[in-house]
Structures are given as structure tokens and as C-alpha cells.
Amino acid sequence: MIDTDVVIIGAGPCGLFQVFELGLLGLKAEVVDSTRQPGGQCAELYPDKPIYDIPGIPVCSGQELTDALLRQIEPFNCGMHLQEEVTVVRKDRDDSFHVETNAGTQFHAKAVVIAGGVGSFQPRKLRVPGAEDFEGRSLHYRVQDPTQFAGQRLVILGGGDSALDWVLELANVAEHITLVHRRDEYRAVPDSVNKMRKLVADGKIDVIESAKATAIDGVDGSIKTITIQPREGEPVEVPADHVLVFFGLAPKLGPIAEWGLNINRKTVNVDTEKFETSEPGIYAVGDINYYAGKKKLILCGFHEAALAAFAIKQRIEPDKKVHVQYTTTSPIMRERLGLQD
Ligand SMILES: Cc1cc2nc3c(=O)[nH]c(=O)nc-3n(C[C@H](O)[C@H](O)[C@H](O)COP(=O)(O)OP(=O)(O)OC[C@H]3O[C@@H](n4cnc5c(N)ncnc54)[C@H](O)[C@@H]3O)c2cc1C
């Protein structure tokens, strides 16, 4: 059980900035995100695209903004729990919260901030009959332990960076790899595509382009063959021990919808003073929240995170007045930032 002041659900830009605003007020946070890297949409959907409307930063890419936010929160040593989805948020009798992830991590917190954006990013699934029977055993949507594929026959589906990264990484580990892509052009970076083509030319892997998987056969969760249907011609049955699927990630509101909060379509209603939801002690900032005039912009989420932090401080220390202090001049804030005077 991890004891903390605040659990932040979501490591997108607003969740990360929430750590900073809480840290300035002396509050400790733990951050949970279902993806394998922090940054939310900025890192998952547009790491290389330029953003022009972050105050004071004329231009930065999605990844650069994420990296800068991570540097900014370094002094506060927040816990970062990646590849874990928050599934349970429950209020205890003493008005604190019990938060749990699908990996079994448990938190005891005085407040919760939902910074869940457009939802938790989940891998897009392979849609062939019976695919779920193999999931987790011989059909995989992420790689936890590459050594499990040593000496195995793999079929890797996809044409983006993840698919090609794993083709390159596992080429010397697996007995054989067949890459299957629905097009003949790739979304992955050109360097990875060139390296993959070299492996094909050297006879180290096979590639089937303009084709898709239509069936999987096997017994007791173990795949034996996967059927690949090219755009033209007859289907091919490829023997395989494991199938790895990298069709990208899609956001799902997921468990957030089940926590009894006042929901407005796929967003959570909040007030504009504290950014508190219908459940006292649970706040929502960034794209996930809704109020009259809401704009899904990073800078709006930053403002929301600042006000939510003040409200949380007040909730945790109801008898003290929370004063606005400037980072330029406040000795306590400078100390929290780890600055020497
Ligand atoms: C192509 C594109 C370009 C954009 N350009 C701009 C721009 O120029 N300027 C601008 O201001 N905005 C831009 N945006 C919008 C901006 O990216 C979003 O407003 C911003 O990412 C919202 O941040 P967030 O932290 O609220 O949520 P997100 O970035 O969506 O992050 C939310 C995180 O929460 C996680 N999560 C959700 N539920 C759970 C759960 N139950 N358990 C664990 N984790 C969970 C998700 O996995 C995700 O990582 C752009 C968006 C796109 C798609």
C-alpha cells in the first residue's frame, strides 16, 4: 500500500503539470498511466509535431514538451507507475481514497486527480474470430519480456514504429519472424524501414505486405497457424508460436465511467473554482473535464491544475489559509524546488 497525498490518474501534460503545482504547495503525488511512457496524447499521438501555443515557448514538439515537464517535476520525486490502468477508486470512511490498478498496485490517498484526457490508451485489438482465447498466452499486444520469444516462430502484425522496433529487436532472438502489414508503405521512421528491408534481403525475416490476418488456429491458448489474406490471391497459412499485434493505441474512457461521477458524454463534470467532480475529493483536469466554456487545450489544463492544487491543499489542511506565493520570491517554494539561495 503506497501512502500519498494525491494520486494523479494520467501522465499527459496536465497530469504532469499537476505534480508540479501540488509540489509547490508541499504535496506529494503518485502518477499512474496505462501507457509505457509519460506524455499522454503529446507522446502517443504527435511526438514530432510542433506545438505553438504553450505560453512562453514559441514552438516545441509533443515530446519536447513532455521532456520539459518531466524536468520541471524532478524536484518533487513523484512516483510514476506506467503500464498500469487505474481500475478502482473508492472512498474510505475517513474521506480518504483507496485507489487500485490492474497490476495490483494500491494507494491510500487524501485526494485523487483524474487527468485522464480522452481516456486510457489501449492497444487496438486484432479482430479475428476467437482471438481473445489466445490473448496473453500466444497473442500479445505488448512485449513485457523479450526473452520469452527466444527460439520461437513469430508473426508480427503492423507497420508503425512499435511493429518495426520489435521486428528489429527480436530478429536475433526468435527462430523466425514474418512481418505482416496491410499496406506496402510504413508509418515507422525510414531508418527502421530500411533496416527491416535489409533483414528481408538477407533472408533473415519474411514480410507479407498489403495483407491482413483473417483467422488464427491453435489449441489451449497456443497458436499453431495464422491465416494471412493478401489483397490479391489465395490466403496463406503461416505457422507461428506467437503473434504480436501492433495496430496502435486507441483511447477508452474505461473504468473512469464506473466511479459514480457525474459524467457528461465522455467527460467528467467539474466546477470552475476547484475543478472538483461530483465526488468531493476527486478532481479532474485537462481534456477529461467539462464545464461551460471548456476548451481542450493544454494551457487550459495547466490553469485547471493550478486551481485544483490550491483546492486540494485547502481540503487537506482545512484550518490553514492557502496563500498565493511567487516562485521568484517565496523561500519555502524555492526550497521545495531544491534551489539554493
Ligand atoms: C494531433 C494533435 C495535436 C494537438 N495539438 C495541440 C496544440 O497545438 N496545442 C494544444 O494546446 N493542444 C493540442 N492538442 C490537444 C492536447 O494534446 C490535449 O489537450 C492534451 O494532451 C490533454 O492533456 P491531458 O493531460 O488532459 O490528457 P492526455 O494527453 O490525453 O493524457 C491522458 C493520459 O491519461 C491516461 N489514462 C486515462 N485513463 C486512465 C486510467 N484509468 N488509468 C491509467 N491511465 C489512464 C491515458 O493513457 C493518457 O496517457 C493536440 C492533440 C492532437 C491529437
The 8-class DSSP code of residue 255 comes to: G
CB 164 within 8 A of CB 186: yes
How high is the mean pLDDT of the chain? 95
3-state secondary structure of 85: coil
253 CA closest ligand 1 atom index: 38
| pLDDT given at position 215 | 97
CA distances from 17 to 50, 84, 270, 330 (A): 19, 20, 18, 19
Max mean pLDDT range (84-88, 145-149, 303-307): 303-307
The CA distance from 45 to 37, in Å, is 12
If pLDDT is split at 50, 70 and 90, which confidence band does 341 have? Answer: low
**87 alpha carbon to ligand 1 midpoint, in Å?**
19
**44 alpha carbon to ligand 1 midpoint, in Å?**
9
The CA distance from 153 to 177, in Å, is 6
256 CA closest ligand 1 atom index: 41
If pLDDT is split at 50, 70 and 90, which confidence band does 262 have? Answer: very high
Residue nearest to atom 44 of ligand 1 (CA): 33
If pLDDT is split at 50, 70 and 90, which confidence band does 310 have? Answer: very high
pTM of the model: 0.80
**53 alpha carbon to ligand 1 midpoint, in Å?**
15
Question: What sections of 75-153 are H helices per DSSP?
Answer: none
Task: Please list the residues that pair with 207 across neighbouring strands.
Answer: 179
Q: How many CA atoms lie within 13 A of 37 on its CB side?
A: 13
CB 199 within 8 A of CB 228: no
**20 alpha carbon to ligand 1 midpoint, in Å?**
17
| pLDDT given at position 107 | 98
Question: Locate cell 514530432: which residue?
Answer: 48
